[in-house]
Amino acid sequence: MYRSKIAGLGGYVPENVVTNFALEKMMNTSNEWIIERTGIHERRFVTQPCGCAELALPACHDAIRDAGIQKENIDLIIVATITPEHQAPGTSSFLQALLELTLVPTLDIRVQCSGFIYGMSIADQFIKTGHYQNILLVGVEVQSAGLNLTTEGRDIAVLFGDGAGAAIISRSDDDSEIISTHLFADGTHAKDLWVEVPIGYESPRISKEMLDEHRQYPYMNGRQVFKNAVIRFPEVVIAALEANQWAKEDIKLVIPHQANMRITEAITKRLDLPLEKVYSNIHRYGNTTAASIPLAMVDARKEGKFGKGDKLILAAFGSGFTWASAAVIW
């Protein structure tokens, strides 16, 4: 049995910064409301039509460089996204073409905010068995193309942003390791945070009535999401600690999916952790769904929040509902 590790990381966000004040001009909201309820000050939106594969490309190149491999060494491409450019094929096919890696297998996964950790778990299994040695794992979202940026959609529109994060998961030959991953889901909540109708796609499955009723925009039962998130996040962090007999004190940093600052604060309190041990960059990018954990890892490492040998817990909760964690030695 082999061991896997995160060998390289990369992140990319569009240059266009959209502040809360800019949103005030599009809908009835306020900078104060958004900061108080979510902790978000600004997010990035693409300015012209741009698919997820295109947005992810710079992040992939950075991750490949950071891992010190050649792109030709990649054995599998996994992409997690809720905003694919087309119904089919998945974003990973378009990304593979842009990377000029013909014949490398591609896999899209659809587990929303937990996508990056589910992807880590899938990559970990392929590496452990010796089947593959280097896997490109990407979390990417172009949320702005599918948001209702009017007062009608304001509860969700203010939360989300565009961005991409990438990791190279490789066979480990040193002390760095993905020690364990823990995956959960509860489909009875599938409609508490969902997009009923695929965006940007016309088919017999989509009626004019559905579009007129705006069922192509995300719907969120915010209270239900909040209530479940503050229970499931701590549970899944504890699952990772207990599985490895790690004490809270052993952990250098918890890197949660950047859902909402109030959720992060609530889980920090429930876990009785100091706030500086739970990383947040949501004020800069908003909620970038599958991209948020790798983007947070890139920023946290740049800020010197963790280094070689440190123990990290990654944790996510989101639509599905799905939730997941990973215990990592950097």
Contact 38, 160 (CB under 8 A): no
Tell me the C-alpha distance between 23 and 18, whole Å. 7
Q: Specify whether 283 is catalytic.
A: no
Q: Shortest distance, CB of residue 158 to ligand COA, whole angstroms?
A: 4
Q: Specify whether 287 is catalytic.
A: yes
Tell me the C-alpha distance between 113 and 291, whole Å. 8
The size of the interface with ligand COA (CB under 6 A), counted in residues, is 20
Closest residue to ligand COA, Cβ-based? 222
Q: Shortest distance, CB of residue 27 to ligand COA, whole angstroms?
A: 7
Structure tokens at 107: 């896999």
324 binds ligand COA, rule: CB under 6 A: no
146 binds ligand COA, rule: CB under 6 A: no
Q: Which of 113, 134, 260, 281 is catalytic?
A: 113
Is the peptide bond between 45 and the residue preceding it cis, with omega within 30 degrees of 0?
A: no
Residue closer to ligand COA (CB basis): 226 or 246: 226
**Number of neighbours of residue 26 by Cβ within 10 angstroms:** 15
Contacts of 108 (CB under 8 A, 6+ apart): 78, 79, 80, 81, 84, 89, 90, 91, 92
The CA-CA-CA angle for residues 21, 22, 27, to 5°, reads: 95
Q: Specify whether 20 is catalytic.
A: no
**Radius of gyration over alpha carbons of the chain, in Å?**
19
Q: Shortest distance, CB of residue 164 to ligand COA, whole angstroms?
A: 17
Q: Which stretch binds ligand COA (CB under 6 A): 41-49, 77-85, 221-229, 248-256?
A: 221-229
Binding track over 251-290 against ligand COA, x by CB under 6 A: --------xx-xx-----------------------x---
CA distances (Å), 126 to each of 4, 99, 131, 133, in order? 9, 21, 5, 8
318 binds ligand COA, rule: CB under 6 A: yes
Q: Among 29, 148, 216, 244, which residue sits at the site for ligand COA (rule: CB under 6 A)? A: 29
Q: H helices of the chain, where?
A: 20-24, 31-38, 52-67, 91-98, 115-128, 154-157, 208-212, 222-243, 261-270, 282-285, 292-302
172 binds ligand COA, rule: CB under 6 A: no
Q: Shortest distance, CB of residue 227 to ligand COA, whole angstroms?
A: 9
311 binds ligand COA, rule: CB under 6 A: no
Binding track over 97-126 against ligand COA, x by CB under 6 A: ----------------x-------------
248 binds ligand COA, rule: CB under 6 A: no
208 binds ligand COA, rule: CB under 6 A: no
Length of the chain in terms of residues written = 330
Q: Shortest distance, CB of residue 222 to ligand COA, whole angstroms?
A: 3
For 224, counting Cβ atoms within 10 Å of its Cβ (0-12 exposed, 13-18 middle, 19+ buried), the class is: middle
Contact 263, 230 (CB under 8 A): yes
CA distances (Å), 216 to each of 46, 196, 278, 296, 319, in order? 20, 6, 34, 29, 16
Residue closer to ligand COA (CB basis): 5 or 154: 154
Q: Which of 228, 257, 260, 281 is catalytic?
A: 257
Residues that bind ligand COA (CB under 6 A): 29, 33, 37-38, 113, 154-155, 158-159, 220, 222-223, 225-226, 259-260, 262-263, 287, 318
- Catalogue the active-site residues: 113, 257, 287
